[in-house]
Amino acid sequence: SNSKSCQNALFGMGNPLLDISAVVDKDFLDKYGLKPNDQILAEEKHKALFDEIVKKSKVEYHAGGSTQNSVKIAQWMIQEPHKVATFFGCIGTDHFGEILKQKAAEAHVDAHYYEQSQEPTGTCAACITGDNRSLVANLAAANCYNKEKHLDVDRNWSLVEKARVYYIAGFFLTVSPESILKVAKHASDNNKIFGLNLSAPFISQFFKEPLMKVMPYVDIIFGNETEAATFAKEQGFETEDIAEIARRVQCLPKVNKNRQRIVVFTQGREDTVATVVKMFPVLDIDQNDIVDTNGAGDAFVGGFLSELVQEKPLEECIRAGHYAANVIIRRVGCTFPEKPDFH
């Protein structure tokens, strides 16, 4: 069934982070001014949080970073051949960087990191309370990605050219919007598929300009209900209806007229909304089976991309997304069993 997947057919670029996850209490969240369910970038006041979280009793380390998670899941769903997924991002020349390299290799992802020694490898503290998780990303090295020194280099750019499907989380807009635009324009000019994720409310709020610069090249936009609502508010849509927001996003200006934009908004346990606007029910799960919702969104995208790269219809892409998310929320971190059971 995987005859359509060839090596480097799926390209992802983003912030490679080492996730440090631990169960914390409300006092911990309050101490650092965190909401129970949020994604933010670390500020000066969060520096001590990283020292404190590693001392928690049950701390776990997992390779993370939103885009990297998604391409890993896509590769896991596809299984064979290896290295269907390519990943670019920046790490430090340190122990955490070595872990990320090792984990990417174990996942059979063709990772080509830009390595520099000014900044240490980025980390993301996942502060878990019950069903909620508050993510605090200390980008560090991830923020040092350099277009001229990595993306533009012939041997790297040739891997971009090999791909048919591209996916970048909105988080990377804070790092290298010029790299995103170069990849997005390449996809558009060659009638390939470029996917982008809204990623977090702060992207739509504070990185509006780079987000809207890339939007005309976006063939598939992903997001959850909160991100969709924030985007709508920032764009002055004056509606909170998710299906209506999806329609409006679909109609935003688009360069490549050969592909109609697809909008996919997940809503946790509620139906996923996708244009041409349809509702797709998610798989039922007993609340007691939910171990960790961190990574569910990344997993949904990974499952989706695994079918998309094999040129499957939208319904199949969404079904695979729901399957992958359903597997991941039963486990700690964005981790998965040896083989998928998706038919």
Catalytic residue numbers? Answer: 298
In which region does residue 293 sit, left (phi positive, over 0), alpha (psi from -120 to 50) or beta (all else)?
A: alpha
**Residue whose C-alpha is closest to residue 307's, from 296, 325, 319:** 319
Is the preceding peptide bond at 276 cis, omega within 30 degrees of 0? yes
How far apart CA 16 and CA 100 sit, in angstroms, is 8
Terminal Cα distance for the chain, rounded? 10
Pairing of strands 110-116, 85-92: parallel
Compute the distance between CA of residue 45 and CA of residue 57 in angstroms, rounded to an integer: 23
Q: Is the torsion defined by CA of 10, 15, 16, 21 positive or negative?
A: negative
Ranges of beta strands (E only) in the chain are 10-13, 17-23, 38-41, 60-64, 85-92, 110-116, 123-129, 132-138, 165-169, 193-197, 220-224, 262-267, 270-274, 278-280
Structure-token pair, residue 305 = 């991309």
Residue 160 contacts residue 183 (beta carbons within 8 Å): yes
Q: How far apart are CA 69 and CA 310, in angstroms?
A: 19
Q: Count how many residues are written for the chain.
A: 343
Per DSSP, the residues of 192-242 read: -EEEEE--SHHHHHHSHHHHHHHGGG-SEEEEEHHHHHHHHHHTT-----H
Collapsing DSSP to helix, strand or coil, 47 comes out as: helix
151's CB contacts (< 8 A; 6+ apart) are 13, 88, 157, 160, 176, 179, 182, 183
CA separation for the pair 81, 94 (Å, rounded): 30
